[in-house]
Amino acid sequence: MSLSNSCPGARTIREPTPEYIDCPHCGREIEVWSDEPLTRCPHCRGLVLQSRGASCLDWCPHAAECVGLEKLQRLRRAGSDG
Ligand SMILES: [Zn+2]
C-alpha cells in the first residue's frame, strides 16, 4: 500500500508547491502555487496565467477521483476562459 502510484501530473495538484516566477506585467517576482493556474500579482494586480503543458487531468478518466471533482472543475474553468 503506497501512494507512489499517483500520476505525476496530479501530484502538483494534490501536493501544491510554491514556485517563483516573474510577473509578465511588471517583471517582479511573485509566488504562485502549483494548483493555482490563475494568480493575481500582488504588485500590479495583473492576472498571471501559469503556463503549463497538457496535463493528464485533461484526459484522464480518473482525474476527478484523483484530485477531487471540485478542484478539477476549477482548473478546467480557469483554463477555458478568463
Ligand atoms: Zn505584476
> 7-63, pLDDT tens digit by residue?
777 777 788 888 899 999 999 999 988 888 789 999 999 999 876 655 777 788 888
Q: Which of 79, 55, 80 is nearest to 67 (CA)?
A: 55
Q: What is the pTM of this model?
A: 0.60
Q: Distance, CA 82 to ligand 1 centroid (Å)?
A: 17
Domain extent listing, the chain: 8-80
Q: Distance, CA 48 to ligand 1 centroid (Å)?
A: 8
Provide the 3-class DSSP secondary structure of residue 29.
Answer: strand
Q: Distance, CA 31 to ligand 1 centroid (Å)?
A: 11
User: Do 13 and 74 form a contact (C-beta atoms < 8 A)?
Assistant: no
CA angle in degrees (0–180, nearest 5) for 78-56-58: 40
Q: Distance, CA 44 to ligand 1 centroid (Å)?
A: 4
End-to-end CA distance of the chain: 40
